[in-house]
């Protein structure tokens, strides 16, 4: 649970397909790892081959690369291993200037790749540094969740070079933080209040800082941290490099920047007003689901929409590989396309797509650039693209030459600010729809069977089957015979895969512009024991763990708040018996809670979870 302080012995095994979600803290000096566990290719993500299948079709402009921005080989290798194929816009603009030591004022929201934009130059400076005085960099973030997330990201980018990153935030025992600071930390990621606390205890010396970053500065000011930030910045050496990132640029941010940044380069990755390129023949649909429900949502949408051919966009090669495997496991004919594949492999994939043997092409933006596939009817954004322009490019893959197309975006609550940037860019409001339910799917399948039967009655030679019907008609009513035939056709046509409704999530605007989670989580034991949800809105979830398993209310609250879109305050009464527990949650969230808790561990045990019979 995120309440737990990160362990200094967190594994750093290098198998970081999605390393940003795993370990993020390491205070032990490490020896550099082997640069990659993937087979070496001559097509590093930073060096996309000119013979891309896309380029064969339309030709490619010269592509930006991480190496071209001035990053060193080690960092380029890390990014390659993470599957980043090319720098995002903010990375292209910010990294070269930051490497020169310039101050920066960046207007960019979460989802644009801004963390890597400031973290990579910071790590390069750390690598080039002779002195051992620490900490050399401080990143201030508005919430502890964001502090952990940013710390996790910097750790992932810097672990092969032995960078020591420490998140410090309120709510975690200060003694532990003091110990880690004493052992030596290169980069501190902190919430302003706790940072000041350490500064006043002299456990953290601002004088040594070479870089200071304000991340989501508008959020920090909104949360009342203005004085804390001023106090901290006043203590930072004059010649330290300063970076300020903010999703919005109100006057107070401009003033803050004016007071503390020296001759900053200004980078804006947000575009106001409508852009060209929109195509009314493209139906745009947004579904809001938690990240771990995206594959199930994708499967459901594909089943109901029945596309001819679909392209699904992911951010990284690793995401592409993972989703391809998942979708194949679910029975779809999916193939991956990304820059880590050889030209021969890519050509083969493209011929499968064009020949109709592959229905699902799962790709990175770079690999799919310029592709023109006639049969394509659907584009899916498995994650919201980092730049609004990419969205326009992605959806432009369908609706070509007057044909109709569908663009589907699977958006997690965290991605809401990126979605808003796209709306501002296209000048169109994106309608949020509900993921088709099992009932919708059934209705769709029955509709297809009806149409097929109609066709058979009208056209085909049915006499061969007449003896079967006639012999059964002696014994049964003809309608029952017809119903049985439909059932057989239905069972034949429907896969026995996942037939559960995909839990809906909502864009929680209280999460703030930066998208950092801000769930209120009750501290201490038994916070919800007496709380009641309005019974009309409440559902109850049964968990097979109780007092005998050492379960306390806060274990259940923590697990639910961590794993679902619910916050602690959304959870109602909790009843803990010796062998099981009952938790009251909003009725609409029961399925999501069951699904999420079933996959997690509570006090080290895998729980069995179901809807309580009485709810």
Beta-strand (E) ranges in 453-586? Answer: 538-543, 574-576, 581-586
**Residue 81: both structure tokens together:** 């291993």
Q: Closer CB to ligand AMP, residue 115 or residue 426?
A: 115
Q: Least distance from C-beta 141 to ligand AMP, angstroms?
A: 11
Instruction: Single out the residue of 12, 54, 80, 87 in contact with ligand AMP (rule: CB under 6 A).
Output: 87
Hey, which residues between 290 and 309 contact ligand AMP (CB under 6 A)?
Answer: none
Coil/strand/helix, residue 8:
coil
- Which neighbouring-strand residues pair with 242? 212
3-class secondary structure, 549 = helix
114 touching ligand AMP, by CB under 6 A: yes
Q: How many residues line the site for ligand AMP (CB under 6 A)?
A: 15
Q: In sequence order, which residues have a C-beta less than 8 Å from that of residue 250 and are 6 or more positions away? A: 218
Q: Tell me how far, at minimum, the Cβ of 312 lies from ligand AMP, in Å.
A: 15
User: Beta-strand (E) ranges in 387-504?
Assistant: 405-411, 432-433
Please classify residue 428 by burial: count the beta carbons closer than 10 Å to its beta carbon, then call 0-12 exposed, 13-18 middle and 19+ buried: middle
346-to-327, 329, 340, 367, 534 alpha-carbon distances in Å: 19, 21, 10, 9, 56
Alpha helices in 523-565 (DSSP H): 553-563
Q: How far apart are CA 66 and CA 46, in angstroms?
A: 6
* Residue 65 near ligand AMP by CB under 6 A: no
What percent of the residues of the chain are helix, what percent strand, and what percent coil, each to the nearest 5?
A: 45, 15, 40
Q: Does 84 bind ligand AMP (CB under 6 A)?
A: yes
Of residues 134 and 364, the one with the C-beta less far from ligand AMP: 364
Region near ligand AMP per CB under 6 A, out of 106-114, 427-435, 566-574, 579-587: 106-114
Report in angstroms how near the CB of residue 270 gets to ligand AMP at its nearest.
12
Instruction: Answer for the pair 379, 405: CB distance below 8 angstroms, yes or no.
Output: yes
Stretch that binds ligand AMP, among 85-93, 125-133, 190-198, 396-404 (CB under 6 A): 85-93
Which residue of 106, 111, 142, 512 would you call a contact of ligand AMP, by CB under 6 A? 111
- Give the angle subtended at the CA of 216 by the CAs of 190 and 433, to the nearest 5°: 120
Contacts of 600 (CB under 8 A, 6+ apart): 559, 562, 563, 606, 607
Q: Which residue in the set 315, 394, 420, 513 belongs to the binding site for ligand AMP (CB under 6 A)?
A: 315
Q: How far is the CB of 250 from ligand AMP (least distance, A)?
A: 20
Identify the three-state secondary structure at position 279.
Answer: coil
438 CB contacts (<8 Å, ≥6 apart)?
Answer: 499, 500, 501
Residues 488-547 that bind ligand AMP (CB under 6 A): none
We find the least distance from the C-beta atom of residue 267 to ligand AMP, in angstroms, to be: 13
Smallest distance from the beta carbon of 315 to ligand AMP, in angstroms? 4
Q: Are strands 187-190 and 137-140 parallel, antiparallel or unpaired?
A: parallel
With tokens 């993020």, the residue in question is 24
Does residue number 412 form part of the binding site for ligand AMP (CB under 6 A)?
Answer: no
Which range of residues in 69-77, 84-92, 452-460, 590-598 is near ligand AMP by CB under 6 A?
84-92
Q: Which is nearer to ligand AMP, 20 or 174 (CB)?
A: 20
Q: Is the Cβ of residue 108 or residue 379 nearer to ligand AMP in the bound state? A: 108
Name the token pair of 323.
């989703």
Closer CB to ligand AMP, 115 or 381, in the complex = 115
Q: How far is the CB of 126 from ligand AMP (least distance, A)?
A: 19
Interaction between residue 172 and ligand AMP (CB under 6 A): no
Q: Does residue 475 sit in helix, strand or coil?
A: coil
Q: Which is nearer to ligand AMP, 88 or 246 (CB)?
A: 88
Question: What's the min distance (Å) between Cβ of 484 and ligand AMP?
Answer: 51
Which of 65, 112, 324, 504 touches ligand AMP (CB under 6 A)? Answer: 112
The DSSP code for 40 is: P
Q: Which of 160, 316, 409, 565 is the binder for ligand AMP (CB under 6 A)?
A: 316
Distance of closest approach, residue 396 Cβ to ligand AMP, in angstroms: 20
Stretch that binds ligand AMP, among 86-94, 161-169, 539-547, 603-611 (CB under 6 A): 86-94
| Cα dihedral 502/110/24/69 (nearest 10) | 130
Longest dimension (CA), the chain: 97
Question: Omega of the bond prior to 135 within 30 degrees of 0, cis?
Answer: yes
Choosing from 113, 192, 295, 307, the residue that interacts with ligand AMP (CB under 6 A) is 113
Angle between helices 438-459 and 294-305 (to 10 degrees): 20
**Residues of this chain, 321-380, that bind ligand AMP according to CB under 6 A:** none
Site stretch for ligand AMP (CB under 6 A), options 87-95, 398-406, 441-449, 598-606:
87-95
Please tell me whether residue 417 binds ligand AMP under the rule CB under 6 A. no
The reply on whether position 89 binds ligand AMP by CB under 6 A is: no
Question: 315 or 518, CB closer to ligand AMP?
Answer: 315
Interface region with ligand AMP, contact rule CB under 6 A, candidates 81-89, 326-334, 478-486, 560-568 = 81-89
Q: Report the DSSP beta bridge partners of residue 488.
A: none
The stretch near ligand AMP (CB under 6 A) out of 29-37, 83-91, 331-339, 351-359 is 83-91
Pick out residues in 373-402 that bind ligand AMP (CB under 6 A): 386
How far apart (Å, rounded) are the C-alpha atoms in residues 312 and 320? 9
Q: Closest Cα to residue 70, out of 7, 138, 120, 142? A: 120
Residue 378, both tokens:
């659907």
116 sits near ligand AMP (criterion: CB under 6 A):
yes
**Interface positions with ligand AMP (CB under 6 A):** 20, 84, 87-88, 91, 110-116, 315-316, 386
């Amino acid at each position: 649970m995120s309440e737990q302080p990160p362990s200094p012995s967190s594994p750093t095994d290098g198998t970081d397909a999605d390393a940003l979600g795993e370990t993020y803290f390491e205070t032990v000096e490490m020896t550099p790892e082997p640069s990659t566990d993937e087979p070496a290719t001559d097509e590093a993500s930073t060096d996309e081959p000119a013979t891309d299948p896309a380029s064969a079709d339309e030709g490619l402009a010269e592509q930006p690369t991480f190496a071209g921005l001035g990053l060193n080989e080690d960092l380029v290798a890390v990014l390659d291993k993470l599957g980043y194929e090319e720098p995002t816009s903010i990375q292209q603009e910010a990294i070269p200037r930051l490497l020169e030591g310039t101050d920066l004022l960046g207007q960019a929201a979460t989802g644009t790749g801004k963390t890597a934009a400031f973290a990579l130059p910071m790590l390069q400076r750390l690598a080039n540094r002779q002195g051992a005085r620490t900490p050399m960099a401080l990143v201030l973030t508005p919430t502890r969740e964001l502090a952990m997330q940013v710390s996790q990201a910097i750790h992932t980018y810097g672990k092969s070079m032995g960078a020591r990153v420490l998140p410090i935030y309120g709510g975690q025992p200060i003694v532990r933080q003091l110990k880690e600071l004493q052992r030596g930390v290169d980069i501190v990621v902190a919430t302003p209040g706790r940072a000041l606390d350490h500064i006043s205890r002299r456990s953290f010396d601002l004088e040594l800082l070479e870089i200071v970053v304000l991340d989501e500065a508008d959020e920090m000011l909104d949360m009342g941290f203005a004085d804390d930030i001023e106090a901290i910045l006043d203590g930072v050496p004059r010649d330290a490099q300063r970076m300020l990132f903010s999703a919005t640029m109100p006057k107070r941010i401009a003033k803050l920047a004016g007071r503390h940044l020296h001759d900053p380069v200004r980078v804006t990755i947000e575009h106001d007003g409508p852009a060209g390129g929109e195509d009314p023949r493209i139906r745009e649909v947004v579904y809001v689901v938690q990240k771990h429900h995206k594959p199930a949502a994708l499967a459901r949408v594909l089943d109901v929409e029945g596309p001819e051919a679909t392209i699904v966009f992911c951010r990284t090669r690793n995401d592409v590989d993972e989703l391809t495997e998942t979708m194949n496991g679910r029975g779809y004919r999916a193939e991956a396309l990304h820059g880590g594949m050889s030209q021969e492999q890519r050509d083969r994939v493209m011929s499968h797509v064009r020949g109709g043997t592959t229905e699902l092409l799962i790709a990175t933006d770079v690999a799919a650039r310029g592709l023109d596939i006639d049969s394509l009817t659907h584009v899916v954004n498995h994650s919201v693209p980092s730049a609004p322009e990419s969205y326009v490019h992605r959806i432009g893959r369908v609706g070509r030459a007057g044909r109709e197309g569908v663009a589907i975006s699977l958006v997690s609550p965290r991605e809401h600010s990126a979605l808003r940037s796209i709306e501002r860019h296209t000048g169109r409001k994106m309608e949020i729809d509900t993921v088709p339910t099992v009932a919708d799917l059934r209705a769709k399948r029955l509709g297809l069977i009806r149409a097929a039967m109609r066709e058979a009655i009208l056209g085909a030679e049915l006499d061969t089957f007449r003896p079967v019907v006639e012999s059964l008609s002696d014994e049964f009513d003809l309608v029952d015979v017809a119903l049985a035939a439909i059932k057989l056709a239905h069972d034949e046509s429907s896969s026995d895969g996942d037939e559960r409704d995909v839990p809906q999530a909502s864009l929680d605007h209280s999460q703030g512009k930066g998208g950092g989670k801000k769930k209120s989580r009750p501290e201490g034991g038994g916070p919800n024991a007496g709380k009641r949800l309005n019974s009309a809105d409440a559902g109850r979830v049964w968990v097979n763990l109780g007092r005998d398993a050492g379960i306390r209310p806060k274990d259940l609250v923590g697990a639910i708040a961590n794993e679902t879109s619910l916050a602690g305050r959304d959870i109602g009464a909790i009843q803990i018996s010796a062998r099981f527990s009952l938790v009251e949650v909003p009725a609409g969230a029961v399925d999501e809670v069951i699904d999420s808790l079933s996959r997690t561990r509570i006090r080290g045990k895998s729980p069995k979870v179901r809807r309580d019979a009485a709810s």
